[in-house]
């Protein structure tokens, strides 16, 4: 029997969570799920619509951030005001979705930060709720907020799904949590974009090709990789850097100036252009804008960099592994289900461009080590990141919670 699932996705940008949602939908067994998606207007909504998924779009979805990186503190408390402003739009989006799709079997919230909206959805639809946790949670030092999050999950979530062991360990130990890894499904055949052909022609002979893929955000470590590039080139390392992506939000006027002054927003595109020009890196740091399909990029690089401030293994690491590309990741305590330090890649300190440059410099003269780690990364991907395999795991969770709900309430 086909299950009708309402997906709630809080991000307008085509981020890692957005890409993971798309891969989840493609990985589910054929005809097993009929999806509908509620999300903010933006690039993510446009791409999901283009793939044929029905959407209910709104100006934004109010969130509650208890993540390790983004939890409210200091000036970040001002971000909570944005969530209050978005609350009426969130309520209206829930009501419109209820009027449009009354016969759903299940609600799946694609990130725990949208838990408030998910609780609203559950109250309206009276159907089971699956909460997907994609970010490491801050479960120490903020007792009241932590207890509120724990209460909401215990009281309203019928299943909690973590994307890996690191995320699971940031949740309460007494909570029942399923682990279903992020997935990726490589394309069998595709046309190489002209931009990638041109990129390959600009590479220097025998250089180590290092890539960073994703939205240009300070928290993703963009400034660290730029400084690492400067250090590598200054020391004579034969390396080409590829930055794929653009700033997800381009704010102008008074609001943009205010957010930039408060440190909540940066003109990353402008900063990258200025840095590379000022330091003479234009021949070694190659910029590509947003690309919905990055398969050709992974097949053009030797090493992926994910020097984020999130203390987590990001989605690009999973995608790169499928193409035999090892990763440098800023994570303190990697878990073997996503990264094996020294085997599928290397752990590097967060916010440390000198350490990043040192590893890149060492690997530039040890290409056999890069190849060895790439093979190990591919093996790990086949084991944990297979979209079809994980699609069956998610479907089993859906069927379990729907079955339990029907048994309990007799519908």
At 47-58, the pLDDT tens digits run 999 999 999 999
Torsional class of 31: left (φ above 0), alpha (ψ -120 to 50), beta (otherwise) = left
Q: What confidence category does residue 402 fall into, taking pLDDT thresholds of 50, 70 and 90?
A: very high
pLDDT at 191: 82
Q: Confirm if 74 and 264 have CB atoms less than 8 A apart.
A: no
Longest dimension (CA), the chain: 70
Q: Confirm if 393 and 162 have CB atoms less than 8 A apart.
A: no
Tell me which CATH code domain 3-183+386-409 carries: 3.40.50.2000
pLDDT at 215: 84
Q: Is 144 helix (H, G, I), strand (E, B) or coil?
A: helix
Residues of the chain with CATH 3.40.50.2000: 3-183+386-409, 194-384
**How buried is 44 (Cβ within 10 angstroms: 0-12 exposed, 13-18 middle, 19+ buried)?**
buried
Q: What confidence category does residue 285 fall into, taking pLDDT thresholds of 50, 70 and 90?
A: very high
Question: Mind listing the pLDDT tens digit for each residue in 328-372?
Answer: 999 988 999 999 999 999 999 999 999 999 999 999 999 999 999
Asked whether the CA dihedral 291, 268, 8, 402 is positive or negative, the reply is positive
Query: What is the torsion angle, in degrees rounded to the nearest 10, for the CA atoms of residue 156, residue 159, residue 161 and residue 165?
Result: 100
pLDDT at 250: 55
Average pLDDT value for residue range 21-46: 95
Query: What is the torsion angle, in degrees rounded to the nearest 10, for the CA atoms of residue 371, residue 373, residue 375 and residue 379?
Result: -170
Q: Is 58 helix (H, G, I), strand (E, B) or coil?
A: strand
Class of 194-384 per CATH?
alpha beta
């Amino acid at each position: 029997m086909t299950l009708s699932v309402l997906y709630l996705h809080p991000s307008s940008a085509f981020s890692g969570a957005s890409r993971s949602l798309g891969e989840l939908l493609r990985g589910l067994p054929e005809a097993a799920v009929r999806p509908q998606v509620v999300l903010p207007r933006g690039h993510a909504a446009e791409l999901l619509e283009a793939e044929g998924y029905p959407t209910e779009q709104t100006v934004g979805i109010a969130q509650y951030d208890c993540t390790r990186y983004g939890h409210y503190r200091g000036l970040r408390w001002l971000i909570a005001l944005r969530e209050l402003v978005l609350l009426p739009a969130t309520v209206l989006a829930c009501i419109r979705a209820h009027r449009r799709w009354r016969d759903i079997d299940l609600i799946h919230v694609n990130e725990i930060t949208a838990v408030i909206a998910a609780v609203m959805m559950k109250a309206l639809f009276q159907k089971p709720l699956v909460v997907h946790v994609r970010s490491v949670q801050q479960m120490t030092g903020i007792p009241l907020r932590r207890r509120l999050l724990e209460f909401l999950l215990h009281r309203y979530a019928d299943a909690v799904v973590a994307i890996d062991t690191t995320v699971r360990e940031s949740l309460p130990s007494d909570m029942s949590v399923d682990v279903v890894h992020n997935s990726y499904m490589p394309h069998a055949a595709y046309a190489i974009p002209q931009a990638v052909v041109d990129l390959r022609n600009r590479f220097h002979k025998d250089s180590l090709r290092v890539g960073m893929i994703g939205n240009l955000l300070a928290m993703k470590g963009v400034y660290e990789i730029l400084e690492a590039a400067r250090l590598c080139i200054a020391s004579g390392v034969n390396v080409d850097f590829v930055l794929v992506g653009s700033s997800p939000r381009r704010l102008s006027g008074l609001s943009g100036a205010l957010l930039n002054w408060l440190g909540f927003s940066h003109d990353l595109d402008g900063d990258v252009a200025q840095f590379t020009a000022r330091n003479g890196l234009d021949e070694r740091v190659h910029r590509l804008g947003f690309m919905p399909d990055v398969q050709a990029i992974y097949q053009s690089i030797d090493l992926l960099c994910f020097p984020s401030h999130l203390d987590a293994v990001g989605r690009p690491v999973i995608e790169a592994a499928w193409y035999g590309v090892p990763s440098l990741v800023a994570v303190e305590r990697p878990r073997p289900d996503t990264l094996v330090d020294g085997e599928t890649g290397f752990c590097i300190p967060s916010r440390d461009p000198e350490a990043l440059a040192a590893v890149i410099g060492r690997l530039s003269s040890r290409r056999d080590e890069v190849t060895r780690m790439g093979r190990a990364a591919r093996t790990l991907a086949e084991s944990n990141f297979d979209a079809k395999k994980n699609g069956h795991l998610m479907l089993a969770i859906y069927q379990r919670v729907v079955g339990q709900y029907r048994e309990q309430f007799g519908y």
